Amino acid sequence: MPIWCINPDCNESNSEEQRDCQTCKSSLVFEWGESYRIIWSNIGTKEKPWIAEKKLPDGVVISRVYEATNGTQTSILKVLYSTDQTYVRLFEREFGLLDRLNRERRESKKNNCSFPRVPEVPNHPDISGQVNFKLKRDITVRYLMMEKINGQNLTEWKESNNNTKVTEEQAIQWLKEILIILNKIHELNFVHRDIHPRNIIKTPNNELVLIDYGCVREILDNVDTQLTQVFSLGYTPNEQVRRKAVKQS
């Protein structure tokens, strides 16, 4: 199994026994309670072992999402390369919200109460959500680890079922499941801002899980035209695309 370097200027594969990249000398090991390494999954390609990436118009890489393993389980590793405070705040918010949702879920389980499934982040006293990792060329990146939700997103599920139409009963049931987690997010005074079929995973036990909290924002009482623009074609309301979103958007 090849182990990949996260240096955006390198991105070369290495053998499993290596602890440092043989090309750029950056570390290949991430200490997150346990040692994790980037793997080439069937989601990535041999040339691009990440699941997704965000770039600026000039081609500068802002962030990438990888799959990482500690040898027994696979997790999602999000890496932020940009030091722009706009992206740093979004990165910190994502962990902060997931951490709060995770704590509420654990508390609900203790009290035998139900709570919607959310991606888990490590519950470890010595680990914070934002861990700095220095690459060999003296760039410090931020990264966070979270649970990989197994299953298909709703777009993949539809395609694998020959684009069969969803029944009205099924659609209503799915909407109810998603509204439960959205209600929890709104109770914490946040909005998700990027809800579409690719961000909803259908697990093997038919449970729906909302993912990708990288665009969450605190709820504002007034219209804010300075919001970071976030939209998915076909799913984002027009006023949000025009950066004139209101709470109802």
Every domain range in the chain assigned CATH 1.10.510.10? 150-249
**pLDDT at res. 225:** 43
**pLDDT at res. 223:** 46
**pLDDT at res. 168:** 95
CA distance 179 to 202: 15
**pLDDT at res. 241:** 76
**pLDDT at res. 46:** 64
Fold (CATH) for 150-249? Transferase(Phosphotransferase); domain 1 (1.10.510)
Q: Which stretches of the chain score pLDDT less than 70?
A: 33, 41-47, 123-138, 220-231, 245-247, 249
pTM to 2 decimal places: 0.80
115 burial (CB, 10 Å; 0-12 / 13-18 / 19+) is middle
**pLDDT at res. 70:** 87
